[in-house]
Amino acid sequence: MVVIHVIVTALLGAGIFFTLVGSIGLLRFPDFYTRLHATGKCDTLGGGLLILGTMVYHLFQYPETLLVPAKLAFLIFFIFIANPTATHALMKSAYKTGVEPWHLGEKRR
């Protein structure tokens, strides 16, 4: 069981790392497009890794109930499809509305 706990801890730690990196990118980048560039990928991977860690934990801790890992696998699948789609729709909407991209040397906004 110790090996499973180490694997689960590593997956959860990787998820925490990517989530925090995405949040810091959302705070620190100078423009709307660069902010979505940071978070649209980091958040997808971070949430997927967190849910994958709990799924591995459930598969080896309670192996008699298989419905819950199926739900979590569907959740990972849905996040990996829906989150980039939402980011793309938001970015396309901003570009068509007329939000100017940031160029080098300008003030951050």
Per-residue tokens: 94? 């901003």
Residue (85 or 106) nearer to other proteins, CB: 85
Q: Which of 63, 64, 97, 105 binds other proteins (CB under 8 A)?
A: 97
CB of 29 vs other proteins, minimal distance in Å: 10
CA angle 83, 44, 37 (to 5 degrees): 80
Helix residue ranges, H only, 29-66: 32-61
Size of site (CB under 8 A) for other proteins: 48
Q: Are 14 and 42 in contact (CB under 8 A)?
A: no
Considering only residues 6-45, where is the footprint of other proteins by CB under 8 A?
Answer: 8-9, 12, 15-16, 19-20, 22-24, 26-27, 32, 35-36, 39, 43-44
